Amino acid sequence: MGFSYVAAAAILLSSTLIFFGMVYSGFVQSNLEIHNSGVQYDHQRYDYLNSNVNITGYNVVNESTANASAYKVYINMTNTGSVTLNMNSTDILVNGIMTGFNSSAEYLFPLGKGNVSFNVNSTSTYDVEIVFSTGYEKYAKVTA
């Protein structure tokens, strides 16, 4: 009888140690994930707060043919922020619809100048929103 109490106590003690080891491991892992997400948030917030773009103007080029009307709109801009903007991760919305575009360069460096171009089918006034990968947005009204 004495041995069974010792064996039971040993089994309970070892299972308790294993249980708390697993709980502690999960706690450390989740705490690390929370810390990493906070660091990532801080980086994204820094990029957003230090992003700034000035639209310096726009040009509209008539590329119409005999069969169809087409206009290419060029929006010129200057990066006045301190963050390099990746133009491959940028989106352009024309009247609320995501539109394909071309950029003059892959990156828009601080104090750098560049442009984006996209096509429209008719002469009208368009609301253009340029959304950069940092979350910064710039609005422009363009008349083609």
Residues 6+ apart with CB under 8 A from 131: 90, 91, 92, 93, 137
Q: Write down the domain spans for the chain.
A: 1-49, 53-143
pTM equals 0.78
**What kind and span of H or E run contains 9?**
helix 2-49
Going by the DSSP 8-state scheme, the letter that residue 25 receives in this structure is H
- Sign of the dihedral through C-alpha 125, 127, 133, 134: positive
Residue pLDDT, tens place only, 64-106:
887 778 999 999 999 999 999 999 999 999 999 999 999 999 9
Exposed, middle or buried, 49 (CB in 10 Å: 0-12/13-18/19+)?
middle
Which fold would CATH assign to domain 53-143?
A: Immunoglobulin-like (2.60.40)
